[in-house]
Structure 1
């Protein structure tokens, strides 16, 4: 059983009680699923909403970033994100109709090959309501050899390598908890059970700052998915070995003093091939769990 231990007294996570994680997953048939996990008492889990036909049969993604979703006018909505299929990175996008099916033609722009050896992928898009501040899009990936890589993507869609650092072989999962113009922060768990925050400056060289939050008990989770909420984050932690998941309210990042409140086991089975976060367009997302 992979339930992380304990709550702490410092800080308050009461504001997280009404917060929601928009949890995404991939079906064995290549569809996308949205399910809301609400931090009520008891935990509320909404019905699954499925979009069929996102990925071709036999072409499930080995890795996938978070996906944005925008409600549509002429159709039901529009989704966009990154996916690695058979060692190739693609920018994937699709519109959906009112029945929940992906509408052709779908965007499947090839970025490049050589992604077979990567185990973690995420992108961060940040845009200030102030239009004079540049839009920023960063992609992070951890290779099986433990190297953390970063790329930046220009508004025109051009990828540029922006650094690589070793030392991350023990990471199992990362979840975004903070983003702004100058840094991104992830919550990460390791094979040894430790829980860290990883703050990565975005206006300087790739020099992450790791801060331990807990020294143990988090090793059983294969996926962390976080959603920002008031004073902190609500985190879904998924144990793929038991097809189970747990909900945590995590306060503002403060090392070992970070408040963590276990909200309990989430009802239902969590047996999908992949899990991710559904997000809104960048200028409407606020993640302030650090800084």
Structure 2
């Protein structure tokens, strides 16, 4: 990790512009005030609980909250992957929905808690299907009326499934696209959504940091647009979690070998010209089996590219 820490320090001292770490808000009687962006990092613990850690994109990094949202959501020690979990208030409680892999089986799930977390009620696990021991990542993107599910196989193939609703109101997945040649990818996070494409930030075993833009429709063999962002030192990060920050992203990068997390502010992605600031090591350790992004139903889509 010494090389990467040095790299982050060089970035902080050199190519950064002011305002990258902040989102603009307004207060009564004042002009625009810049508040630090935040990221809510989700995880499934070894006991099957849903955890939320929130960090402020300051230097040094500030931990804003650390709580168990719901206990015993899944069986102990069985969860291997999780897509983003969406949540929001409704009917006097808070609804949480998402997708997860338990053992080798994909499930859709939902449950309710009091607002802010607590006793779990109305939990529903819907079995989708087996075979997920062959995958290393899972996420879902929703933009307008379309919903797309993305998963990366262990052999480096990115799969696209369009999520649809049948005449009876039941969800189903239509497997309609794939692209190979992503074998060296280690960690990835969704940083941008539009009506026509989704963009992921990816770390690679060569040390490079990339963006990969995938079409959400079209031919079965997808043609992505891949651009390098940085050329070295990123191979230590097996897990990425991202949250929007204006037209850029706040990114948590996790080194699973050491359990350490590092926070970065990433400007609007533009190849090697992308501005990145290393904010430093994040308080605490990151040793839970699966990590994901918490997203409110009311959050705007990310626009990091």
- TM exceeding 0.5: yes
Offset of residue 234 of structure 1? 0.8
Alpha-carbon distance in structure 2 between the residues aligned to 1:245 and 1:90: 28
1:245 and 1:118 mapped to 2: Cα distance? 23
Which of 18, 21, 36 does residue 16 from structure 1 map onto? Answer: 21
Residues 98/195 of structure 1: CA separation in 2 closer, same or farther (3 Å cut): closer
Q: Does 1:52 find its partner at 2:71?
A: yes
Q: 1:118 aligns with which of 135, 151, 155?
A: 135
Which of 95, 106, 113 is 1:78 aligned to?
Answer: 95
Task: Please say if 1:89 is aligned against 2:106.
Answer: yes
**CA positional deviation for 1:53:** 1.5
Correspondence for 1:182: 196
Query: Given the superposition, is the C-alpha separation of residues 117 and 227 from structure 1 closer, same or farther in structure 2, using an over 3 Å criterion?
Result: same
1:256 is paired with a residue whose SS is: coil
- Contact 1:232 1:252 (8 Å CA) reproduced: yes
Distance in 2 between residues matched to 1:114 and 1:102, nearest whole Å: 32
| CA deviation vs aligned residue, 1:45-90 (integer Å, no higher than 9, x gap) | 02311021211234x3111101001123422x11111111121110
How far residue 123 of structure 1 moved from its aligned partner, in angstroms, is: 1.1
Query: For residue 144 of structure 1, what is the aligned residue in structure 2?
Result: 154
Compared CA separation, residues 99 and 247, structure 1 to 2 (3 A): closer
Q: What does the per-residue CA deviation read over 1:93-129, in whole Å, with 9 as the maximum and x for residues that have no partner?
A: 11113683453431111111111111111111112xx
Distance change >3 Å, CA 218–CA 13, structure 1 → 2: farther
In the alignment, is residue 277 of structure 1 matched against residue 293 of structure 2? yes
1:42 to 46, 52, 60: 60
Alignment of 1:250 onto 2:266: yes
Q: Distance in 2 between matches of 1:30 and 1:90?
A: 14
The superposition leaves residues 145-199 of structure 1 with CA deviations (integer Å, 9 ceiling, x where unpaired) of 1111110001441110111121111111111111010110010001121100000
Runs of 4+ residues deviating >6 angstroms: none
Q: Label 1:84 to 1:171 Cα distance change in 2 as closer, same or farther (>3 A).
A: same
| Residue 229 of structure 2 is aligned to residue 213 of structure 1 | yes
Q: How many angstroms apart in 2 are the aligned matches of 1:71 and 1:89?
A: 26
Q: Which stretches in structure 2 are left out of the alignment for 5+ residues?
A: 23-35
- Structure 2 counterpart of 1:131: none
Instruction: Give the RMSD, CA atoms, in angstroms.
Output: 1.9
Q: SS of the residue aligned with 1:55? A: coil
Which residue of structure 1 aligns with residue 43 of structure 2?
A: 25
| CA gap 1:41/1:194 in 2 versus in 1, 3 angstroms | closer
What residue in structure 1 maps to residue 32 of structure 2? none
How many residue pairs get matched?
A: 280
* Cα distance change of structure 1 residues 55 and 42 upon mapping to structure 2, 3 Å threshold: same
Q: 2:182 aligns with which of 153, 161, 168?
A: 168
Tell me by how many angstroms 1:203 deviates.
3.3
SS in 2 for 1:116: helix
Alignment correspondent of 1:66: 84
Relative to structure 1, the CA distance from residue 99 to residue 208 in structure 2 (aligned partners, 3 Å threshold; closer, same or farther) is: closer
| Structure 1 residues not aligned, in runs of 5+ | 128-134
Which residue is 1:7 aligned to? 11
Cα distance in structure 2, aligned partners of 1:48 and 1:177 = 23
